[in-house]
Chain A
């Protein structure tokens, strides 16, 4: 399972890969919660031409992302969070939504536990997102702490 998830991240498009490598700090720490503008310019460029500019790859990127560092949640989940912080934050604040469902899924949370996961992350929003300048790594460890202290969710935490 762990291996599959790692491979998935390897495959998961190189924009993440490049972001992680640029920071030189592994995954899960790249994105700051509300730095909305970052990465928009290249997106707009790609959007207005609908072309791919070479950095979109078909599949495997060679090498790793530097993601093997110990992380409380799966690489795929961290990767998703990294790239969708504003949506995950919104969904946790409302306790519902597709981004939160996806995060739960990538964290391996079962369908039965996922509604409880949503309730908890809503109730603990201010703990998980402690300020407007948290990075995704902060969010991941805070989320892990919150889950550890929850009877039902502790089994998903490390």
Chain B
């Protein structure tokens, strides 16, 4: 009992001791909280500097503003350290810093997976001083050493109408090791971003998925000579190579970031997040403070992105690399007709008569030219027309013969187009104007987001090719106070490639859209689809003649049986004058199925560029259509932006 009373008496002291102990424990606890781990210090520093909102951090993780916050364009959990990294720059920054402090020393350590982030964060936060563990990234080091990239070149293979995904052109980066290598760029590497398409998909599925993000987009590295084979030899596309003025530090950061995104899926969208867009996003990381992707959230047309890089002062000069066929055509132009004939005969097979004639060509340069061209044309045929073994052995004979003539280049310098692609018109076009239809005047408005039609200013584009994409035309007629959608073209492609003795391309066109059309019972809005195929020829330097077979389907309720299907002919000429481009065309279509009609049209159009980004054009047209005779005149001012 006494013990108990004693205890009870001592209770205040016991309480006091407990309180002291608690206080000590608590203060000890605060001491622990006051000594954060290195990772926590790094996170805290990053918070003080507001790094998660830093423009460069947003670029490194490919964040774009998306109300109410951000979203990264990377569609791959591997790219994020935080679970909500795709939408939270802050969470991703914290998780990235914590990941860098993880124990371990292997190639899959976050330090090795995100070297560009590591480099930048270390510079900003001095992570090394904050006890960052040293990690040896052997695979990464080996990869970088192997590439030894010292120069970067923006490569732009021009438009390729025959491939839906390359219609507007393509861009990639070439990485070149040293100055000596730079003079032999075939040995360099190409860093390419492309849709990882499914081999089993047909053209239509391909186009659809390509447009709407149905394919993963992936980066790849291949030898540059493979790209040359693809673009110059097989697809006959001229290439422009823009040397970028990135310094070694910028190249290094480019390579680190390329490593970060190497297996990362960014869904591929044909118009927006495409090859060209991601080349820009890499360059934004390479050069801090550069703003390149901002203007391309709606569409990234390769030639526009090249212009953005040039305008940002990143490119010094462009080197023109003509396609194999371009070069053959130029070389052929330097020969007289009898020499050309020899080239043609010698290229295919052994021909004693031609060889004898070649023997009579005294000029060694001319003889060399004939042999080289015959070889080049022979190779072209082998590649494009499944040549026979005979012509393959002819290749060898031609070269052996050539090697017996003096060494050296026998050709005049390559003729370069007067304008580089980025010097041409921009691809969005707005036009306003007016005209008259059978005496009724009207005002017209036209808007087209992409890309180029045959009458648009030619500088920087190739002759006779056209891609109008989402071309919208409206017309206001004051007499009846009506505003009408005249036509909405979804896509309108025309490729007029001239034929000669050596090259026999087919000219073709497709177009589809919604338009106000004539029917036997008045005007109506309907859907139309058209296609054409035929031949075109160059007549001198300024004139291209074409003849096309046409098919056309029109669908509208107002037609008898709801449709009208016909076929016919279209012939015309393009004139490339010094200060303008013009077209004269005659078209006749017999609509035989559904609602019948014979439509005849004659048209003259001419366009005058005013500087690089404006043009004036007018059109005169006479048509017989569904029992009407129509005379129409229209003049418009065009702005390109």
- Which B residues are CB-close (under 8 A) to A104? 184
In the bound complex, do residue B195 and residue A60 qualify as a contact, i.e. CB atoms below 8 Å apart?
no
In the bound complex, do residue B218 and residue A132 qualify as a contact, i.e. CB atoms below 8 Å apart?
no
In the bound complex, do residue A132 and residue B170 qualify as a contact, i.e. CB atoms below 8 Å apart?
no
B531, chain A: closest CB distance, angstroms: 18
In the bound complex, do residue B222 and residue A56 qualify as a contact, i.e. CB atoms below 8 Å apart?
yes
In the bound complex, do residue A50 and residue B396 qualify as a contact, i.e. CB atoms below 8 Å apart?
no
Binds A, one of B67-75, B241-249, B378-386, B500-508: B378-386
In the bound complex, do residue A51 and residue B194 qualify as a contact, i.e. CB atoms below 8 Å apart?
yes
Total A-B pairs in contact (CB under 8 Å)? 174
Q: Does B235 contact A (CB under 8 A)?
A: yes
With A50-B195, A101-B184 as known contacts, state yes or no: A13 contacts B226, CB within 8 Å: yes
With A51-B194, A86-B379, A101-B183 as known contacts, state yes or no: A132 contacts B215, CB within 8 Å: no
Minimum CB distance partner of A76 in chain B: B187
What 0/1 pattern do residues 387 to 400 of B give for CB contact below 8 A with A?
A: 10000110111011
Q: Does B334 contact A (CB under 8 A)?
A: no
In the bound complex, do residue A129 and residue B221 qualify as a contact, i.e. CB atoms below 8 Å apart?
no
Q: Does B263 contact A (CB under 8 A)?
A: yes
- Which A residues are CB-close (under 8 A) to B222? 13, 15, 56
User: Once the chains are docked, how many angstroms separate the CA of A123 from the CA of B407?
Assistant: 8
Q: Does B317 contact A (CB under 8 A)?
A: no
In the bound complex, do residue B395 and residue A132 qualify as a contact, i.e. CB atoms below 8 Å apart?
yes
User: Once the chains are docked, how many angstroms separate the CA of A38 from the CA of B252?
Assistant: 37
Interface residues of A in 83-110 (CB under 8 A from B): 83-84, 86, 89-90, 92-96, 98-99, 101-102, 104-106
User: Once the chains are docked, how many angstroms separate the CA of A126 from the CA of B403?
Assistant: 8
- Which B residues are CB-close (under 8 A) to A4? 145-146, 148
What 0/1 pattern do residues 129 to 152 of A give for CB contact below 8 A with B?
A: 101100000000000000000000
User: Once the chains are docked, how many angstroms separate the CA of A11 from the CA of B149?
Assistant: 14
What 0/1 pattern do residues 229 to 258 of B give for CB contact below 8 A with A?
A: 110001100000000000000000000000
Binds A, one of B160-168, B417-425, B430-438, B444-452: B160-168
Q: Does B197 contact A (CB under 8 A)?
A: yes
Q: Does B604 contact A (CB under 8 A)?
A: no
In the bound complex, do residue A83 and residue B181 qualify as a contact, i.e. CB atoms below 8 Å apart?
no
In the bound complex, do residue B407 and residue A96 qualify as a contact, i.e. CB atoms below 8 Å apart?
yes
B446, chain A: closest CB distance, angstroms: 30
Minimum CB distance partner of A41 in chain B: B386
In the bound complex, do residue A50 and residue B194 qualify as a contact, i.e. CB atoms below 8 Å apart?
yes
In the bound complex, do residue B400 and residue A125 qualify as a contact, i.e. CB atoms below 8 Å apart?
yes
In the bound complex, do residue A84 and residue B220 qualify as a contact, i.e. CB atoms below 8 Å apart?
no
Minimum CB distance partner of A5 in chain B: B146
User: Once the chains are docked, how many angstroms separate the CA of A35 from the CA of B392?
Assistant: 7
In the bound complex, do residue B408 and residue A94 qualify as a contact, i.e. CB atoms below 8 Å apart?
yes
- Which B residues are CB-close (under 8 A) to A93? 375, 399-400, 402-403
User: Contact partner of B396 among A92, A94, A111, A129, CB < 8 A?
Assistant: A129
Minimum CB distance partner of B226 in chain A: A13
B403, chain A: closest CB distance, angstroms: 3
- Which B residues are CB-close (under 8 A) to A119? 407
What 0/1 pattern do residues 1 to 38 of A give for CB contact below 8 A with B?
A: 00010011011110100000000000000000111110
In the bound complex, do residue B387 and residue A36 qualify as a contact, i.e. CB atoms below 8 Å apart?
yes
User: Once the chains are docked, how many angstroms separate the CA of A106 from the CA of B195?
Assistant: 32
- Which B residues are CB-close (under 8 A) to A94? 368, 372, 402-403, 407-410
Query: Which residue, B218, B226, B375, B379, has most C-beta atoms of chain A within 10 A?
Result: B226
User: Once the chains are docked, how many angstroms separate the CA of A12 from the CA of B226?
Assistant: 10
Q: How many residues of A contact B (CB 8 A)?
A: 60
User: Once the chains are docked, how many angstroms separate the CA of A125 from the CA of B181?
Assistant: 25
In the bound complex, do residue B221 and residue A11 qualify as a contact, i.e. CB atoms below 8 Å apart?
yes
User: Once the chains are docked, how many angstroms separate the CA of A80 from the CA of B387?
Assistant: 24
In the bound complex, do residue B407 and residue A122 qualify as a contact, i.e. CB atoms below 8 Å apart?
yes
User: Once the chains are docked, how many angstroms separate the CA of A15 from the CA of B227?
Assistant: 12
In the bound complex, do residue A44 and residue B234 qualify as a contact, i.e. CB atoms below 8 Å apart?
yes
Interface residues of A in 34-58 (CB under 8 A from B): 34-37, 40, 43-54, 56-58
Q: How many residues of B contact A (CB 8 A)?
A: 66
In the bound complex, do residue B408 and residue A96 qualify as a contact, i.e. CB atoms below 8 Å apart?
yes
In the bound complex, do residue A50 and residue B407 qualify as a contact, i.e. CB atoms below 8 Å apart?
no
In the bound complex, do residue A37 and residue B382 qualify as a contact, i.e. CB atoms below 8 Å apart?
yes
In the bound complex, do residue A132 and residue B223 qualify as a contact, i.e. CB atoms below 8 Å apart?
no
B191, chain A: closest CB distance, angstroms: 9
Q: Does B262 contact A (CB under 8 A)?
A: yes
Query: Dominant SS at the B interface?
Result: helix
In the bound complex, do residue B234 and residue A33 qualify as a contact, i.e. CB atoms below 8 Å apart?
no
- Which A residues are CB-close (under 8 A) to B576? none
User: Contact partner of A11 among B146, B402, B407, CB < 8 A?
Assistant: B146
- Which B residues are CB-close (under 8 A) to A129? 396, 399-400
In the bound complex, do residue B220 and residue A52 qualify as a contact, i.e. CB atoms below 8 Å apart?
yes
Q: Does B142 contact A (CB under 8 A)?
A: yes
Query: Which residue, A51, A95, A99, A131, has most C-beta atoms of chain B within 10 A?
Result: A51
Minimum CB distance partner of A128 in chain B: B403
Minimum CB distance partner of A126 in chain B: B400
User: Once the chains are docked, how many angstroms separate the CA of A101 from the CA of B395?
Assistant: 21
B474, chain A: closest CB distance, angstroms: 34
In the bound complex, do residue A80 and residue B197 qualify as a contact, i.e. CB atoms below 8 Å apart?
no
- Which A residues are CB-close (under 8 A) to B162? 48
B416, chain A: closest CB distance, angstroms: 17
In the bound complex, do residue B400 and residue A37 qualify as a contact, i.e. CB atoms below 8 Å apart?
no
User: Once the chains are docked, how many angstroms separate the CA of A4 from the CA of B163?
Assistant: 37
In the bound complex, do residue B234 and residue A40 qualify as a contact, i.e. CB atoms below 8 Å apart?
yes
In the bound complex, do residue A105 and residue B187 qualify as a contact, i.e. CB atoms below 8 Å apart?
yes
User: Once the chains are docked, how many angstroms separate the CA of A11 from the CA of B400?
Assistant: 34
Query: Which residue, B194, B195, B410, has most C-beta atoms of chain A within 10 A?
Result: B194
User: Once the chains are docked, how many angstroms separate the CA of A93 from the CA of B378?
Assistant: 15
Q: Does B477 contact A (CB under 8 A)?
A: no
With A36-B382, A51-B165, A86-B395 as known contacts, state yes or no: A80 contacts B187, CB within 8 Å: yes
B532, chain A: closest CB distance, angstroms: 20
User: Once the chains are docked, how many angstroms separate the CA of A13 from the CA of B146?
Assistant: 13
Q: Does A59 contact B (CB under 8 A)?
A: yes
Minimum CB distance partner of B222 in chain A: A13
A59, chain B: closest CB distance, angstroms: 5
Q: Does B3 contact A (CB under 8 A)?
A: no
User: Contact partner of B165 among A49, A54, A84, CB < 8 A?
Assistant: A49
Task: Give residues in A with beta carbon < 8 Å to B.
Answer: 4, 7-8, 10-13, 15, 33-37, 40, 43-54, 56-60, 76, 80, 83-84, 86, 89-90, 92-96, 98-99, 101-102, 104-106, 111, 118-119, 122-123, 125-126, 129, 131-132
27 residue pairs bridging A and B, Cβ less than 8 Å apart: A7-B146, A10-B146, A11-B143, A11-B221, A43-B229, A48-B162, A49-B163, A50-B170, A50-B195, A51-B194, A60-B142, A80-B223, A86-B379, A89-B396, A90-B399, A93-B402, A94-B372, A94-B409, A95-B406, A104-B184, A105-B181, A111-B180, A123-B403, A125-B400, A126-B403, A131-B396, A132-B396
Closest 8 CB pairs between A and B? A95-B407, A51-B197, A36-B382, A125-B403, A132-B396, A93-B399, A102-B184, A50-B165
